[in-house]
Amino acid sequence: MTGKIVLFGATGYTGGRTAASMAARGLRPVLAGRDPARLAGLAERLGGLETARADVTDIASVRALVDRGDVLVSTVGPFAQLGGAALAAAVGAGAIYLDSTGEPPFIREVFELQGPAAERSGAALLTAFGNDYVPGVLAGALALRKAGDAAARVDVGYFITGGGKGQPFSRGTLESLVGVATRPVYAYRDGALRTEPAGARLRTFDIAGKPRPGVTIGATEQFALPRIAPGLRTVDVYLGWFGPASNLVHATHRLTPLLEKAPALARGVTRLARLAAGRAAEAPSPAVLAASTSHFVAEAFDAGGTLLARTRLVAPEAYAITADLLAWGAGRAAEHGVRGTGALDPVTAFGLDTLVAGAASAAVIEHP
């Protein structure tokens, strides 16, 4: 089985890095988008790749490029605004779909709304297949394998060390963060998915011998880990990118319900934040990325709160992780397919041991 790979977003920062990673692995993706001239220049630099003119926001335009068994990869965000058409086209085609989103509302839509439609059409949906949130799912699955059936709770943490002064994120990442900042997310508590504000809980993790705070976010783990271990009652995912400002983020979570009741105010806050994000450079600082190390921690507890197992993965900077994971996942899916249909998590789609090997090819490895 060898399906065609179609990549949207290659002229953007994350998409360009993904295209380069695919080419470095010997893959020959079709680079699709609305600007043939920009695509042609990139395709030539990457070894004469095929290009196609298409609009990622038009279902018919995307659908014309993919058939059953093909792999559609989208890096075009914010996904809440721009991601729906590609997702619907993949479902309609019965294709395998991967994206680079980290946006909780979009992830929830994939699992709860598009997943059943994908099961009926034979499509396989792998959303958030990058730094957000494959490493955390992998760390959680490894911790659960160590912990055994007694595990009742898993906490996952995402952290970055090093870096330095300079812009750490791309403009696209900042715009995606802005788009979801005023919207509620979700948690998995008491054996069910529940809606709640981002940052509702705060805790610290030991990262390289230093306590580092993180605040709760919606992610893929809340969907994936209960599938892997049906006895789980709680899955919390913590984002530790804010450092000491985590306490402020946690304190402001109480504003989310107020903004829900005042849509005009929420739109105004979002508009101002988007203006600020729009002033950022398209690409993050190369020096900051080169000095960064990513850490992904998963801790499994029993029902009484006793720690049963801990797994920590380390990796380079986030954009390298995303590009390499998308390239590996697309290549693996095109050649071998995936396990199952509908909205899948990476462990279900590829198997845990295969995912360990794939993550290692993206330099995401377990820390002893």
Q: What is the 3-state secondary structure (H, E, C) of the chain?
A: CCCCEEEECCCCHHHHHHHHHHHHCCCCCEEEECCHHHHHHHHHHCCCCCEEECCCCCHHHHHCCCCCCCEEEECCCCHHHHCHHHHHHHHHHCCEEEECCCCHHHHHHHHHHHHHHHHHHCCEEECCCCCCCHHHHHHHHHHHHHHHHHCCEEEEEEEEEECCCCCCCCHHHHHHHHHHCCCCEEEEECCEEEEECCCCCEEEEEECCEEEEEEEECCCHHHHHHHHCCCCCEEEEEECCCHHHHHHHHHHHHHHHHHHHCHHHHHHHHHHHHHHHHCCCCCCCHHHHHCEEEEEEEEEECCCCCEEEEEEEEECCHHHHHHHHHHHHHHHHHHHCCCCCEECCHHHHHCHHHHHHHHHHCCCEECC
What is the longest distance spanned by two Cα atoms in the chain? Answer: 60
Residue 281 and residue 172: Cα distance in Å, rounded?
A: 10
Domain 134-318 has CATH 3.30.420: no
Rounded to 5 degrees, what are φ and ψ at 135? -60, -35
Cα–Cα–Cα angle for 299, 347, 116, nearest 5°? 115
pLDDT confidence of residue 96 = 98
Identical fold for domains 5-130+320-366 and 134-318, yes or no, is no
Residue 144 and residue 129: Cα distance in Å, rounded?
A: 20
149 burial class (0-12, 13-18, 19+ CB within 10 angstroms)?
Answer: exposed
* Residue 140 and residue 156 in contact, taking contact as beta carbons nearer than 8 Å: yes
Residue 30 and residue 58: Cα distance in Å, rounded?
A: 17
* Residue 183 and residue 273 in contact, taking contact as beta carbons nearer than 8 Å: no
Quote the pTM value: 0.91
Give the residue carrying structure tokens 């089985």: 1
* Residue 86 and residue 97 in contact, taking contact as beta carbons nearer than 8 Å: yes
pLDDT confidence of residue 312 = 97
Rounded to 5 degrees, what are φ and ψ at 116? -60, -40
pLDDT, one tens digit for every residue, the chain (368 residues): 578 999 999 999 999 999 999 999 999 999 999 998 999 999 999 999 999 999 999 999 999 999 999 999 999 988 989 999 999 999 999 999 999 999 999 999 999 999 999 999 999 999 999 999 999 999 999 999 999 999 999 999 999 998 777 877 776 776 666 555 557 889 999 999 999 988 889 999 999 899 999 999 999 999 999 999 999 999 999 999 877 777 777 776 555 554 455 555 445 444 544 454 455 577 788 888 888 999 999 999 999 999 999 999 999 999 999 999 999 999 999 999 999 999 999 999 999 999 999 999 999 999 98
Token pair of 66, please? 């993919």
CATH class of 5-130+320-366: alpha beta
The CA–CA distances, whole Å, from 77 to 24, 53, 95, 148, 153 equal 24, 18, 20, 38, 32
* Residue 52 and residue 6 in contact, taking contact as beta carbons nearer than 8 Å: yes
Token pair of 138, please? 């992998």
Residue 106 and residue 118: Cα distance in Å, rounded?
A: 15
161 burial class (0-12, 13-18, 19+ CB within 10 angstroms)?
Answer: middle
pLDDT confidence of residue 276 = 47
Domain segments of the chain as ranges:
5-130+320-366, 134-318
Give the residue carrying structure tokens 């509702």: 200
* Residue 260 and residue 266 in contact, taking contact as beta carbons nearer than 8 Å: yes
